[in-house]
Amino acid sequence: MKAYLYLATAIVAEVFATSFLKYTDRFTRPLPTLLTFGGYAVAFFFLSLTLRFLPTGIAYAIWSGVGVVLISAVNWIWLKQRLDAPALAGMALIVLGVVVINLFSRSTGH
């Protein structure tokens, strides 16, 4: 359970950092740049803690899958970026893949 708490923290921090990346203006704006680097530092720290419990491939599959969906949701809400049906279908498949890994894979350690 600790692994998934670490992983969730890593994912949220990565989504936070990625959300500010656009506003760094090629890392010339100090506050967004600091928030981006800080978010990524927190994300990688917690991902490193996760890897003490989960295999790298499994952790990264969950990280990237959930991250893609969350960053798309953030962009939809904050930046009004709309997603078409193929994009939504693709993300549904990503979520399904993460669910399959967590429910059926013995590689997750549970």
Give pLDDT tens digits for 23-47.
999 999 999 999 999 999 999 999 9
- Quick: pLDDT tens for 10-26: 999 999 999 999 999 99
Which residue in the block uniquely carries the two structure tokens 């350690």?
109
CA-wise closest residue to 70 among 42, 98, 107, 51 = 98
pLDDT of residue 60: 92
- Quick: pLDDT tens for 68-108: 999 999 999 998 899 999 999 999 999 999 899 888 888 87
pLDDT of residue 11: 98
> In the structure, how many helices (H) and strands (E) does the chain have?
4, 0
CA-wise closest residue to 36 among 8, 65, 15, 64 = 15
Total number of domains in the chain: 1
pLDDT of residue 110: 59
| Structural domain boundaries enclosing 46 | 2-108
